[in-house]
Structure 1
Amino acid sequence: MLKVQEIRELIKLVDQSSIDEFVFEHEGSKIKMKKNAAETVMVASAVPHAAISAPVQAQHQAPVSAPSAVKHEAKQEEVQPEPVKETETSNLHKITSPMVGTFYASPSPDTDVYVKTGSKVSNDSIVCIVEAMKLFNEIEAEINGEIVEVLAKNGQLVEYGQPLFLVKPE
């Protein structure tokens, strides 16, 4: 089977080309992409004895970032927190996600959150966990200051570089 990066490159190439349908078969694996005006659909089916077949839709975006966002058929509610005014954020530090994964505000569901609005943090303070491929990565503040706003919700999928917290530096 192709690696994820190779599949992303294929999606990008198909998206930028004028072809409407692309089929790739190799060693019992088959990838079929069909492009409509509004979306690109990719269906991947594995070797028959593996019995895995997962249809996936790739979001149609600008050519540069087309392969980076993949949307599954089951839609999730997206809750957008109230943003801080633009003029107020100019002097704030953003703690961003270093990877794609799931945001967790606490070490386990039955414990308190690491930080909340008004919490004081230092360089080595753990502010959250981002889980990627069953690995739980502790994210540190890397700045001394006060949490002004928590931008991500517990259990939310986050992207690489997505702001998670706004911190007022000391």
Structure 2
Amino acid sequence: MLKIQEIREIIKLVDNSSVDEFSYEYEGSKIELKKNKGTAAPAPQMVQAAEEVKQPAQQAVQQAPAQTEAAPVQAEESKPAETTADDANLHKITSPMVGTFYKSSSPDADAYVKAGSKVDESTVVCIVEAMKLFNEIEAEVKGEIVEILVKDGQLVEYGQPLFLVKPE
């Protein structure tokens, strides 16, 4: 079964290529991506054959484009003006799915990261729970956590920024 990070990488590659449709099937898992040329906000269509992954993937795809774009705007509006000006230099770690954000593996455990924590590409920064599946989210970039944009236990949308990281 493919990891969320691998699926996101495939989406990026297809999006940046001239390919309009992409299909991949391996060991019972299937991904189908189609570009919606000429529309305001294209959304990839993903289908996972594995039952426990199928519904969270479909929920992520079925999110309305207005919702996926509205969440980042709301988060930026609540920040001070000086932080917003620095955002251009910061990497945003976004949610790969709709679910519940958890900063630690259990309520009594320490948070994976805090503001000021150093991370590398494979550092787990949080968990997003969807349909009783706990998905570890990795930093994808080497740097320092500048800000955590969501609260523990908060519902997050597909594409919503979770962390700001100052890349090294």
Identify the TM-score tier after normalising by the shorter chain. Answer: 0.5 to 0.7
**Helix, strand or coil at the partner of 1:131:** strand
Change (3 A) 1:64 1:86: closer
Shift of residue 65, structure 1, vs aligned partner: 3.8
**Count of aligned positions:** 97
Shift of residue 87, structure 1, vs aligned partner: 1.1
In the TM superposition, what whole-angstrom CA distance separates every residue of 1:10-36 from its partner, at most 9, and x where no partner exists? xxxxxxxxxxxxxxxxxxxxxxxxxxx
Q: Distance in 2 between matches of 1:116 and 1:123?
A: 16
1:86 aligns with 2:84: yes
| Of 80-89 and 108-117, the range deviating more from structure 2 | 80-89
In the TM superposition, what whole-angstrom CA distance separates every residue of 1:75-94 from its partner, at most 9, and x where no partner exists? xxxx9995252211110000
Q: Which has the higher contact order (CA 8 A, sep 6+)?
A: 2
Change (3 A) 1:166 1:133: same
TM-score, scaled to structure 1: 0.53
In the TM superposition, what whole-angstrom CA distance separates every residue of 1:72-126 from its partner, at most 9, and x where no partner exists? xxxxxxx999525221111000000000000000000000000000000000000
Aligned to 1:98: 96
TM-score, scaled to structure 2: 0.53
The structure that is strand-richer by fraction is 1
The structure that is helix-richer by fraction is 2
Which consecutive residues of structure 2, in runs of 5 or more, have no partner in the other structure?
1-63, 69-74
What is the RMSD of the two structures over their aligned residues, measured on CA atoms? 2.4
**Structure index of larger Rg:** 1
In the TM superposition, what whole-angstrom CA distance separates every residue of 1:109-153 from its partner, at most 9, and x where no partner exists? 000000000000000000000000000000000100000000010
Q: Would you say the 8 A contact 1:115–1:147 is kept in 2?
A: yes
Aligned to 1:169: 167
Q: Which amino acid is the alignment partner of residue 130 of structure 2?
A: A
Q: Which amino acid is the alignment partner of residue 161 of structure 1?
A: G
Q: Distance in 2 between matches of 1:65 and 1:80?
A: 16
